[in-house]
Amino acid sequence: MVFDRDIRLTILGHTGVGKTSLLKRLKAEDQAQIEKTLDITIEKKKLTLLSSTKQSRLSLERYRKYNLIAVDNPGDFKLRRKWREAMRKYKTHGILFMLDPTQAVEAQRVAMEDSFNYFLDSLSLDPDKADKKAKNKKSLFFFVVNKMDAIDYDEGRAKKFLNEFETVMNDYKITFPFAIFQKAFISVLNSPYEEIDSIFEKCKRSLY
Ligand SMILES: Nc1nc2c(ncn2[C@@H]2O[C@H](COP(=O)(O)OP(=O)(O)OP(=O)(O)O)[C@@H](O)[C@H]2O)c(=O)[nH]1
Ligand SMILES: [Mg+2]
């Protein structure tokens, strides 16, 4: 339809945080089949956001569909240079960065730093040019803490965990002053579908 819109996301994060699981959940595919991702994979899904169904029948938004184009990436550090390739090749609206509170902070912080640098590289391989482009770029950076079930849905604990990444996130904010920052706490395996949907609802509101 002509009034359909795209939500284009690069999914990044350390290995085993649940990137592929999130996309499988969205596509209602078998979670048991998931293996470690070894290469860049493009997942597409037409989304009818739950908020649309609440709009009046006269509203265009009620009939609007969102085409999610998600670039799933391998989290393993040896395969991480593919992130740069993916971001240069598939121009997305931004990054959905996933975190796992059951895994060590340090390795995930490195992954967050890598995603910062590779995203800048995707703007230009000349660091000064990339910094300049970043200053005006209205990207979306979405930080998603997954596996809330594994920490008994303890939001206090999840927020404390996310605080460990504050300094890196601040660097994102300084480098991308016009970017939009979002956070969410979910369990890909157990959250009700509305909570999964709300991630993409937030993306929609940030982008359109
Ligand atoms: N307890 C729990 N486990 C989860 C959740 N989401 C994913 N997992 C598990 O975490 C493991 C890794 O999930 P993947 O989706 O393969 O992780 P990934 O980020 O794609 O990993 P790479 O492809 O190596 O980068 C799997 O065993 C999942 O079942 C969750 O919400 N809760
Ligand atoms: Mg994967």
Tell whether ligand 1 has an atom less than 6 A from the beta carbon of residue 18: yes
Q: Could you report the per-residue pLDDT of 13-37, keeping only the tens digit for each?
A: 999 999 999 999 999 998 888 999 9
Q: Which CATH number fits domain 5-207: 3.40.190.10, 3.40.50.300, 3.40.50.150, 3.40.47.10?
A: 3.40.50.300
Q: How far apart are CA 149 and CA 205, in angstroms?
A: 27
Q: How far apart are CA 65 and CA 46, in angstroms?
A: 7
If you measure from the C-alpha of residue 168 to the centroid of ligand 1, how many angstroms do you get, rounded to a whole number?
A: 23
Q: Are 26 and 195 in contact (CB under 8 A)?
A: no
User: Residue ranges of the alpha helices (H) in 56-104?
Assistant: 81-89
pLDDT value of position 194: 95
The residue contributing the CA closest to ligand 1 atom 21 is: 16
Tell whether ligand 1 has an atom less than 6 A from the beta carbon of residue 37: yes
Tell whether ligand 1 has an atom less than 6 A from the beta carbon of residue 79: no
Atom of ligand 1 nearest to the CA of 189: 31
Q: Are 87 and 118 in contact (CB under 8 A)?
A: yes
If you measure from the C-alpha of residue 147 to the centroid of ligand 1, how many angstroms do you get, rounded to a whole number?
A: 8
Return the domain boundaries, the chain: 5-207
If you measure from the C-alpha of residue 178 to the centroid of ligand 1, how many angstroms do you get, rounded to a whole number?
A: 31
Q: How far apart are CA 106 and CA 132, in angstroms?
A: 29
- End-to-end, the C-alpha distance of the chain in Å comes to 17
Q: Lay out the sheet containing 5-12: strands in order across.
A: 41-47, 66-72, 5-12, 94-99, 140-145, 180-185
pLDDT value of position 136: 96
List strand residue ranges (DSSP E) for 62-207, in order. 66-72, 94-99, 140-145, 180-185
In angstroms and rounded to an integer, the radius of gyration of the C-alpha atoms of the chain is 17
Q: Are 157 and 101 in contact (CB under 8 A)?
A: yes
pLDDT value of position 32: 83
Residues contacting 158, CB < 8 A, separation 6+: 101, 145, 148, 151, 185
DSSP 165: T
* Per-residue confidence in pLDDT tens, the chain, 208 aa: 678 999 999 999 999 999 999 999 999 998 888 999 999 999 999 998 999 889 999 998 899 999 999 999 999 999 999 999 999 999 899 999 999 999 999 999 999 999 999 999 999 999 999 999 999 999 999 999 999 999 999 999 999 999 999 999 999 999 999 999 999 999 999 999 999 999 999 999 999 9
pLDDT value of position 1: 65
pLDDT value of position 92: 95
Token pair 């967050």 is found at 112
Q: Could you report the per-residue pLDDT of 189-207, keeping only the tens digit for each?
A: 999 999 999 999 999 999 9
| Two structure tokens written together for 164 | 């460990």
Strands 180-185 and 66-72: unpaired
Atom of ligand 1 nearest to the CA of 13: 19
